[in-house]
Every structure is written in structure tokens, then in C-alpha cells.
């Protein structure tokens, strides 16, 4: 429900067939009612299902979907329903057609059917002012024209997207009355009947009218008047114990790589998105919608009423086309009605081709993955239509990841007039983001083209050219990105994170605009209206609404109000004086003793001979700021006895080349850490709380630092000698450390990208959770080491000018046995130098 996206490229030509919603008893047999968790494909659907199963599995694998369930309805029969993946991945509980899901905005269809029952009884009039039924409902309306139920149900009321209380973000679970009453604090964004603006708040009001006019709680009325007569035994607007027990575990995600379990709190605006159901129940609902005959048990709605719900309402002002609740569109010239839904971790598509008596329901457990459920549902419908028309059955070929070579070749900024976009390659994905905002899309390979294909969108093709790309009829040229200028000083106090852990609002500067990233997925450039007041774009989720900041006495924003929703600033914890610190889980001295008393994990393999080189001996312009040799680190105590940095020779040579690239641009490399003895990694792991362990290496596997092939570093300005300002600080254990973190300023992210690209050009790859951490490409070819710096090289090397052929170190590793850290390690633990070159392991050159 946070995201509702259905294609609306066309409108149904006519509403020719009158369809009847019939009651339960005549439909259970026709709908294939069964106690089995899945419904096997009807014989004539066997070939279609044999194609769909691998297609669904491929989509789930490519998009990392935990679970997905689907049901296909032909006329009034569920001809196939099945689950894929795991409803509970941790417990390995398989998904089935009877798995319970939250269906988000598909809930709106049931709310609208409930209100249409009252219309048929003459209890409400769609075209009467809502205040007729809710006398205390009076949001500020400067336009004069009153709001009607018809406008609410067709999303032309002008109301905000979200109410101030009981909105999509609000975990306090207020009542429906409190939710609707909070709208009196708001003002209409557009005049009623002038503009299609999707509003969850509007359907909350519809549900409250239903509650007041029926004189019973909304969920109670829907159960006995709609859900029970439809035979939806596993559906509810209330999280009853059987519902919650069967509810699938769903996954949230962010562009920068964060994933977490979806929250399950109840929305105050429950009529807009709080229904629970299964694909089998929804398949029964679809079968009822497709029925066009009366039964002895009567009707839920008259045929003419449903027909009215499937007609476009009011003069349309462009954009999506709505009936009364239903979205109206077409699929390959076949009239289509339905709705999509997205609510924390769940995505649903419900599509009907009423003239063809076909329908599909698909639900998955990945947040906002509607592009996947849409595509699966539509391809299923296309297969059925092809079979009916005697055409070959085929599905589109799968896309593949863009190669690193091609991605790095075309990465950059592209423009044509006011149209601009960025292509970025990070963590193995090539992504696209337009300057106008919207969703960040992944590009994948399809034959000679690139095609947008991720959980949010599918289909746009892009053809790479020499320093240009084509999209449809447009050609955009690649242009260099100049160093950004700092944003206006008055914006500094606005930039930051706001809201909740389950749904964070990011405010940052991008391309000279203050920008919001809202509901995890939508980038919205903001237009300044006045001091601390900005307008959101008309093409986004929050069409035409305002973001209003409140500052404290020091000029820092304490909150921002969007769509009536107040987002409180989220403090940055642990950072003081440019250093991130934690409270260690245990005493560091004790952890050091324990770490020195155990061996690193044994390894087998044909490893290269280690050849650790001290970095400062290769290039004097490489500066050191070895944090673990001081107390300026996340543990607040020195871990190393010396401020030195080593890498394996090939990695060190590559680092020197990267530094040379940066020198030409006026920057140098600032080293925070490089080779790290294994025992230090164990200290870090044991000292770090469990919820932050993604930022430290598991000693049971060894760190790439332990192999001498990882480096932690930043940039400094050659002219001033000062470090540049990145989005987050070194070793910060927060999302701000992710290389794809969207926040901060354009200049901060420009520095981050400059560092990344310089390092990648020389064979390093950034770690997905730390912008400062880079692994050399050959790290797997070196063993885990546990030598102190002094044991690697007892005396400092003399400085040397950078040269192409680097000098050999004083000592080199010439032979490694699997039990290398054997007897000699006792000396290391005791702090004694090894008697090199005695023994077979080390020798002087």
C-alpha cells in the first residue's frame, strides 16, 4: 500500500458485460474449493504451468524473493494455485497457496464493495458531500467544492496521501475514528474532481463512512457482509491468532543494501490496506467477480453496480484511470481491471480480464516487488490468451547481469537538454537514476540491449553507444561531472535522516536540489517555496504536497512534516569529534590475551608466498592515519603498537598507481589500516555487539586484511593536507558507511565516488558495507597471517621515490605449511621476535 503501481497505458473500451457478485454456496465447488494447500493445474493448463513454474523460479532467484504464491482463475474456477519459496525462510516453512499474506491496497476493493452495498440500499449517495455522513469531517478546503464519496473512491478528492495519525508510518495503531479525525488538521492539495491524486487517507474516510452508516465496526461489517458471503474463510481485516500464525515473514530492503524483517503493526487507516488473505481466497474473489449469473443464494452486489465500478469516473485529468476503487487499463488490447497492493514487505497483483473471463492473483514477500508480481500475472494471462488463439506458448527470455567490463565502460552522467540521468556500477549491479527522481532501476542484459529489470520496474530498453545511450527515440550524451559546489549553508541544518527504523526519510542535497528519498524507494527533488518549506514533485507518491521543516535554536531541523506526517530527526549515534566509538562488549585487555592464545583457522590451498610491503616506502605522498595505533578508533584504545601499513606486493603496486591517478586531480590517499594480524580481527569481533557485526570480519573465516589484501583509506587534499569530508566517518557502524548510501551532499558523494573509481581501476573492489574498505582482486590467493608489524619487518624501510619496479622487502615469505602458526607462534604470543631467518619459513633475500 505504500506503493501502488498498476499500468494504465490504455482504458477499457466499454463495460459491455454486466457481472454479478454471487454468494458463497454456488461458488465453492466452481472455485475449486479444497483443503489441499495447493491446487494442481487443470489438465488443459498443464503446459502453461510447466512454462510458468521455471519462469517464476527464475524471477524469484534473480530478484531474491523469499516467497511467492499464485492463483489462476478461468471463468469461475481456480485452475491452478501454488506457492514457491519459503513463507518462513529461517524455519524453512514452504509457501503454499494457503499461505497468509498482507495484501495492501487490494484491501480497497473490499472496502469499496462494502460502501456500494450501502449505496444499493439507499443509505448513502456517492455524489452527496461526505459531511452529510460525517458532520465532523472538515479538512481545510480553500476551493469551496465539497468532497464526495465518488471522488474519494476514484482518487480525485484532493486529499493528502496520508493522514497525520494512523498513516502508513505510524506504528501506534490508533482507531479509524482517530485516523479520520486527524485529517481536520490538513488542507486539500487540489480542488476536488480536478486531478487524479492517489490517497490512502481517502479510502480511510470511505471506510469510516461505512462504519458510521452501518452502525458497527468497519472490520466487523466487512466480515459478515462481504468476506463471509464470498467464502473467504482465511481472510480478515483483523490479525486474529489463526491469521498471525499463518502469516508469511516478509522482507524490507533499501537501495544501499540493507535488509530487515518487515514490521507487522496495524494501520489506523485499515480500510485502505490492512487486509490479510491467501491467493486461494483471492482466487475465489476473482471467480465471483467473473461470475455473470444469479444463484439461489442471492447477490453481494447487483450486476449494474459492479458494472459502474468498472467504468471511468468523472472527467479524467490524465494519469491512471480509476473506476470506483478498481484501476482500469488494458493488456494487449484486452480490457483489464484490478488493483495492486504493497504494504511493508508484501507486494500483490490482482488482475482480471472480464471480457475473457480470466484472472490472476500473485503475492510475494519482498517490499514493493510489484513489478515482479505484475509481470508474472500478466505473462500468465498472455499464455492463456495465446493458447485460446492457437498461438505458440512462449515467455520472454531471462535477462542477465551486465558484465563488469561493459558496466564500467558506460558508467557515467548522461544529458539531453533538461533530461539527465546517472548510470552507476556498484556491488555487481548497473543502476540508473534520472535527475527528475523516481525509482532507481537496475539495468540488465537482454541480447544487445540493456533493459530495466528489477523489483520496481521492467521493460525500458537502453542501447549503449560511444559516449552516449539511446532510450526510445531519445539519445543522451555522456558528459563529465564537474566537482560539485557545496550546497547553500541554510540547507546544512536540514540534511539528515528522519522518521523510524522501519521507514526512514532521507533528506540530502543532489545536483543542486534538496532531495528526499521516501518510503525507501522514491527519489523526490524538492522545490523551495519559502524558508524551510519545499514542494514535492507532481509525478511522485506525494504529488504536490509540501515538506515543512522545524528548526531548533542552533538552526538544525528537529523534524519535517510531509503529507501531514511528522518525521522526527534521527540522531547519529556514536560519532563525536569525527570518531565513531562503541562500548566494547568486553574488556579489551582480556580479549587481547584470549586472541593471542588461540590459532587462526587452518587452511588448505596452493597459496602464493606472502610478500608484504610497507606502503610509505613506495610513495611518500601516501599519508598514514593508522587509527588502531591510537585511541581514535571505535574501541577507544590503541590496538597496534606502531602506526604502519603493509600490503601484499601486487596490491601495494596497484595502490601506488591509484594514488598517482588521484594526484593528477589534486588528491592523495590517506591510509587508516592495511594488513591486520588475525588476532586483531578476533579482538574486533569479540568486542563488537551482534547487531554491528557486519562491520567486522568473522575470525573463523579470516579477514581479507589478514591476507594483506585489504585496505581502509580515504582522501586528503594535496593543497591543504587536510582530509576531505565524506558522508560518514571512518569505522562508523551505520548505514551511512554503505558505499551506496544516498544521503549527505553531492560533494561528499563525489569524493566517495572519486575514491571508489580510482581504486576499482587498479583492481580493488569496495566492500558492500564500508565506503573506505577495498579488497584487492587476488585476496583469495594469499593465506591468513598473524604476524605483528615488527615481525613482518623489524626495522622501517627507507623511503623511496615511487617507481614502476618496486624494491623487494627485507624479508619475504618463501614457504607456507598448513600448520605454519605452530611452535613459533608461542614466541609471538610472548612478544618475542622470531629468530629469522632460522627455520624454513622466512629467509632474507
- Same fold flag, 400-479 and 489-568: yes
Cis status of the peptide bond prior to 235, with omega within 30 of 0: no
Q: Which residues contact 161 (CB under 8 A, 6 or more apart)?
A: 197, 198, 199, 200, 201, 541, 542, 543, 545, 563
CATH no., domain 581-785: 3.30.1380.10
pLDDT of res. 317: 57
CATH architecture type of domain 107-237 = 3-Layer(aba) Sandwich (3.40)
pLDDT of res. 411: 95
pLDDT of res. 563: 87
Q: What is the pLDDT averaged over residues 800-805?
A: 36
Q: Assess contact for 355 and 23: CB atoms under 8 A.
A: no
> Above pLDDT 90, what percent of the chain?
85
Q: Does residue 363 sit in helix, strand or coil?
A: strand
Q: Residue 796: which pLDDT band, with cuts at 50, 70 and 90?
A: low
Q: Is residue 98 pLDDT above 60, yes or no?
A: yes
Rg (CA), the chain: 31
Q: What is the pLDDT averaged over residues 626-645?
A: 96
pLDDT of res. 822: 34
CATH architecture type of domain 400-479 = Beta Barrel (2.40)
Over residues 289-348, the pLDDT tens digits come to 998 533 335 578 999 999 999 999 977 656 689 999 999 999 999 999 999 999 999 999
Over residues 130-178, the pLDDT tens digits come to 999 999 999 999 998 999 999 999 999 999 999 999 999 999 999 999 9
Least confident piece of the model among 32-46, 259-273, 561-575: 32-46
Q: Which residues are catalytic?
A: 770
pLDDT of res. 445: 96
Q: Is residue 424 pLDDT above 80, yes or no?
A: yes
Q: Is residue 787 pLDDT above 70, yes or no?
A: yes
Q: Which residues contact 595 (CB under 8 A, 6 or more apart)?
A: 679, 680, 682, 683, 686, 699
Q: What is the DSSP letter of 600?
A: P
Residue with cell 540493456: 450
Q: Is residue 23 pLDDT above 80, yes or no?
A: no
Q: What is the DSSP letter of 735?
A: G
pLDDT of res. 2: 54
Q: Is residue 36 pLDDT above 70, yes or no?
A: no
Q: What is the DSSP letter of 9?
A: S
pLDDT of res. 292: 57
pLDDT of res. 7: 43
Pairwise pLDDT comparison (101 vs 8), residue with the higher score? 101
Q: In this structure, which CATH number among 2.40.128.50, 3.50.50.60, 2.60.120.560, 3.40.50.1980 belongs to the domain 489-568?
A: 2.40.128.50
Q: What is the pLDDT averaged over residues 457-461?
A: 95
Rounded-to-integer distance, Cα 219 and Cα 202, Å: 17
Burial 373-412 (b: 16+ CB within 10 A, else e): bbbbbbbbbbbbbeeeeeeeeeeeeebeebeeeebeebbb
Rounded-to-integer distance, Cα 691 and Cα 229, Å: 47
Q: What is the pLDDT averaged over residues 464-488?
A: 94
Sketch the domain layout of the chain as residue ranges: 21-104+282-388, 107-237, 400-479, 489-568, 581-785
Rounded-to-integer distance, Cα 23 and Cα 226, Å: 9
User: Which fold, 21-104+282-388?
Assistant: Beta-lactamase (3.40.710)
Amino acid at each position: 500500500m505504500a506503493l501502488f503501481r498498476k499500468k494504465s497505458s490504455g482504458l477499457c473500451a466499454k463495460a459491455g458485460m454486466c457481472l454479478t457478485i454471487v454468494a458463497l454456496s454456488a461458488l465453492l465447488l466452481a472455485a475449486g474449493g479444497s483443503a489441499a494447500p495447493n491446487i494442481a493445474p487443470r489438465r488443459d493448463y498443464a503446459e502453461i504451468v510447466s512454462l510458468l513454474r521455471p519462469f517464476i523460479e527464475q524471477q524469484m532467484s534473480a530478484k531474491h524473493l523469499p516467497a511467492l504464491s499464485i492463483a489462476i482463475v478461468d471463468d469461475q474456477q481456480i485452475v491452478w494455485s501454488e506457492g514457491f519459496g519459503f513463507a518462513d525462510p529461517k524455519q524453512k516453512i514452504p509457501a503454499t497457496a494457503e499461505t497468509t499474506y498482507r495484501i495492501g491496497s487490494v484491501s480497497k476493493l473490499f472496502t469499496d464493495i462494502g460502501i456500494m452495498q450501502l449505496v444499493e440500499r439507499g443509505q448513502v449517495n456517492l455524489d452527496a458531500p461526505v459531511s452529510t455522513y460525517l458532520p465532523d469531517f472538515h479538512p481545510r478546503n480553500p476551493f469551496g467544492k465539497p468532497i464526495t464519496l465518488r471522488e474519494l473512491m476514484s482518487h480525485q478528492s484532493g486529499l493528502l496521501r496520508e493522514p497525520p495519525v494512523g498513516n502508513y508510518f505510524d506504528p501506534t495503531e490508533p482507531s479509524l475514528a482517530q485516523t479520520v479525525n486527524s485529517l481536520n488538521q490538513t488542507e486539500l492539495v487540489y480542488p476536488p474532481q480536478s486531478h487524479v491524486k492517489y490517497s490512502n487517507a481517502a479510502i480511510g474516510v470511505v471506510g469510516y463512512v461505512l462504519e458510521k452508516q452501518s452502525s458497527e465496526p468497519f472490520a466487523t461489517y466487512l466480515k459478515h457482509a462481504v468476506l463471509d458471503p464470498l467464502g473467504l474463510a482465511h481472510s480478515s481485516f483483523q490479525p486474529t491468532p489463526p491469521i498471525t500464525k499463518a502469516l508469511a515473514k516478509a522482507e524490507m530492503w533499501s537501495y544501499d543494501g540493507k535488509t530487515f524483517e518487515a514490521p507487522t503493526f496495524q494501520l489506523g487507516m485499515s480500510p485502505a490496506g490492512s487486509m490479510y488473505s491467501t491467493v486461494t481466497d483471492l482466487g475465489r474473489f476473482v471467480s465471483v467477480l467473473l461470475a455473470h449469473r444469479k444463484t439461489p443464494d442471492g447477490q453481494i452486489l447487483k450486476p449494474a453496480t459492479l458494472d459502474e465500478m468498472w467504468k471511468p469516473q468523472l472527467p479524467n485529468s490524465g494519469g491512471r484511470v480509476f473506476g470506483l476503487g478498481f484501476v482500469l487499463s488494458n493488456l494487449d488490447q484486452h480490457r483489464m481491471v484490478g488493483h495492486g497492493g504493497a504494504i511493508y514487505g508484501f507486494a500483490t497483483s490482482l488482475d482480471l480480464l472480464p471480457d475473457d473471463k480470466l484472472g490472476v492473483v500473485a503475492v510475494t514477500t519482498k517490499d514493493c516487488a510489484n513489478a515482479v508480481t505484475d509481470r508474472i500475472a500478466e505473462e500468465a494471462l498472455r499464455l492463456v490468451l495465446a493458447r485460446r488463439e492457437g498461438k505458440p506458448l512462449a515467455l520472454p527470455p531471462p535477462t542477465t547481469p551486465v558484465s563488469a567490463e561493459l558496466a564500467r565502460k558506460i558508467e557515467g552522467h548522461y544529458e539531453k537538454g533538461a533530461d539527465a540521468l546517472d548510470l552507476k556500477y556498484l556491488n555487481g549491479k548497473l543502476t540508473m537514476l534520472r535527475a527528475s527522481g523516481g525509482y532507481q532501476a537496475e539495468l540488465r542484459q537482454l541480447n544487445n540491449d540493456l533493459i530495466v529489470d528489477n523489483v520496481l520496474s521492467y521493460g525500458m530498453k537502453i542501447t549503449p553507444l560511444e559516449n552516449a545511450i539511446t532510450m526510445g527515440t531519445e539519445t543522451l550524451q555522456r558528459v563529465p561531472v564537474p566537482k560539485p559546489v557545496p550546497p547553500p549553508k541554510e540547507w546544512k541544518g536540514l540534511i539528515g535522516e528522519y522518521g523510524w527504523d522501519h521507514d526512514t526519510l532521507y533528506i540530502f542535497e543532489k545536483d543542486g536540489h534538496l532531495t528526499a528519498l521516501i518510503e525507501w524507494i522514491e527519489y523526490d527533488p524538492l522545490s523551495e517555496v519559502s524558508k524551510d518549506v519545499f514542494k514535492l514533485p507532481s509525478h511522485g507518491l506525494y504529488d504536490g504536497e509540501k515538506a515543512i521543516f522545524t528548526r531548533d535554536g542552533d538552526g538544525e531541523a528537529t523534524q519535517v512534516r510531509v503529507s501531514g506526517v511528522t518525521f522526527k530527526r534521527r540522531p547519529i549515534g556514536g560519532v563525536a569529534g569525527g570518531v565513531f566509538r562503541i562500548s566494547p562488549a568486553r574488556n579489551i585487555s582480556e580479549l587481547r590475551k584470549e586472541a593471542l592464545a588461540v590459532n587462526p583457522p587452518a587452511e588448505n590451498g596452493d597459496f602464493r608466498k606472502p610478500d608484504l610491503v610497507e606502503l610509505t616506502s613506495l610513495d611518500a605522498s601516501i599519508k598514514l592515519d593508522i587509527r588502531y595505533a591510537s585511541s581514535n578508533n571505535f574501541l577507544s584504545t590503541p590496538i597496534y603498537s606502531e602506526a604502519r601499513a603493509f600490503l601484499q606486493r601486487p596490491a601495494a603496486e596497484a595502490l601506488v598507481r591509484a594514488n598517482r591517478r588521484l594526484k593528477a586531480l589534486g588528491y592523495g590517499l590517506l591510509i587508516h589500516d592495511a594488513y591486520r594480524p588475525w588476532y586483531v580481527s578476533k579482538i574486533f569481533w569479540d568486542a563488537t555487539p551482534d547487531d554491528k557485526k557486519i562491520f567486522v570480519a568473522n575470525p573463523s573465516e579470516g579477514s581479507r586484511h589478514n591476507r594483506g589484501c585489504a585496505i581502509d583509506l580515504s582522501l586528503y587534499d594535496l593543497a591543504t593536507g587536510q582530509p576531505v569530508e565524506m558522508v560518514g566517518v571512518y569505522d562508523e557502524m551505520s548505514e551511512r558507511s554503505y558505499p551506496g548510501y544516498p544521503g549527505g551532499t553531492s560533494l561528499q558523494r563525489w569524493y566517495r565516488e572519486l575514491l571508489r573509481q580510482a581504486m576499482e581501476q587498479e583492481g580493488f573492489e569496495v566492500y558492500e558495507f564500508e565506503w573506505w574498505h577495498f579488497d584487492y582482486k587476488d585476496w583469495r590467493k594469499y593465506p591468513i597471517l598473524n604476524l605483528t608489524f615488527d615481525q613482518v619487518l623489524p626495522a622501517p624501510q627507507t623511503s623511496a621515490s615511487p617507481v614502476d619496479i618496486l624494491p623487494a622487502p627485507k624479508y619475504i615469505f618463501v614457504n607456507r605449511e598448513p600448520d605454519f602458526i605452530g611452535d613459533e607462534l608461542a614466541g609471538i604470543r610472548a612478544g618475542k621476535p622470531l629468530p629469522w631467518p632460522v627455520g624454513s619459513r622466512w629467509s632474507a633475500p
